[in-house]
Chain A
Amino acid sequence: GAGVSQSPRYKVAKRGQDVALRCDPISGHVSLFWYQQALGQGPEFLTYFQNEAQLDKSGLPSDRFFAERPEGSVSTLKIQRTQQEDSAVYLCASSPRGTQYFGPGTRLLVL
């Protein structure tokens, strides 16, 4: 079956620009997670949804980061007024219960 998909795969943004990153989870997966992976590091948790409810957003680094999952399926991570330190790979994962399955990530480069 289809895995987790993310778009775009690559995004170059000018500093100060807003970006939106999309995640299509595996059909039927209730849980959805966003992680940020800096170069050479392990992924770090950003936020978690159960269906449409955002149950944990403790990892969002600033109020410039916002995530939503309005219908309990597709999720969007939005970053406002991007900064150079936002450059990273953004990974989305979905889970039925337990194991998380990851998408290919969106590589964001802020110039």
Chain B
Amino acid sequence: AQKITQTQPGMFVQEKEAVTLDCTYDTSDQSYGLFWYKQPSSGEMIFLIYQGSYDEQNATEGRYSLNFQKARKSANLVISASQLGDSAMYFCAMREGPTQGAQKLVFGQGTRLTINP
């Protein structure tokens, strides 16, 4: 069964607009972590933001915020004031189990975001 689902293969957004990238997940664990990574055409996976399952507040990092809805098992990434440099593949990933266990990440299929000038 797919553990991470990203339903948007591609998104096109005008520069300076906000964009929401969808991610739903499936787990029976109580302790887990959710990550978003950006992968530009150069290939490197760049860490953007992290949300722990017990975190009560939504995570924010600069222009990035994570809309965490635990009951719906969704962890959408919101990018405010998009820039041309935001054009890239975006991956949602989940770590099952506590942080101390250094568990592997399970990734979604990704969303290709294109920012138009």
In Å, the complex CA distance between A100 and B45 comes to 10
B1-28 to A contact mask, C-beta < 8 Å, 1/0: 0001000000000000000000000000
In Å, the complex CA distance between A101 and B35 comes to 11
**B68 adjacent to chain A (CB < 8 Å):** no
Q: Which residues of B contact A104 (CB under 8 A)?
A: 42-44
Verify B106–A45 contact, CB threshold 8 A. yes
In Å, the complex CA distance between A89 and B110 comes to 15
Which of B4, B35, B110 is the one whose CB lies under 8 Å from A99? B35
Q: Which residue of chain A is the closest to B43 with respect to CB atoms? A: A105
Verify A99–B47 contact, CB threshold 8 A. yes
Verify A107–B102 contact, CB threshold 8 A. no
- Minimum CB–CB distance from B72 to chain A (whole Å) comes to 21
Q: Which residues of B contact A93 (CB under 8 A)?
A: 45
In Å, the complex CA distance between A50 and B35 comes to 21
Verify B102–A50 contact, CB threshold 8 A. yes
Interface of B is mostly: strand
- Size category, A interface: 20 to 34
Q: Which residue of chain A is the closest to B110 with respect to CB atoms? A: A42
Q: Which residue of chain A is the closest to B99 with respect to CB atoms? A: A98
Q: Which residues of B contact A50 (CB under 8 A)?
A: 102
Q: Which residue of chain A is the closest to B45 with respect to CB atoms? A: A102
Given contacts A42-B108, A50-B102, A97-B99, are A89 and B47 in contact (CB under 8 A)? no
Q: Which residues of A contact B44 (CB under 8 A)?
A: 102-105
Which of B45, B47, B50, B104 is the one whose CB lies under 8 Å from A91? B45
A86-98 to B contact mask, C-beta < 8 Å, 1/0: 0001010101011
Given contacts A42-B107, A43-B107, A44-B107, are A97 and B102 in contact (CB under 8 A)? yes
In Å, the complex CA distance between A107 and B109 comes to 19
Q: Which residues of A contact B109 (CB under 8 A)?
A: 41-42
**A73 adjacent to chain B (CB < 8 Å):** no
B binding-site residues for A, Cβ under 8 Å: 4, 33, 35, 37, 42-47, 50, 91, 93, 95, 99-100, 102, 104-110
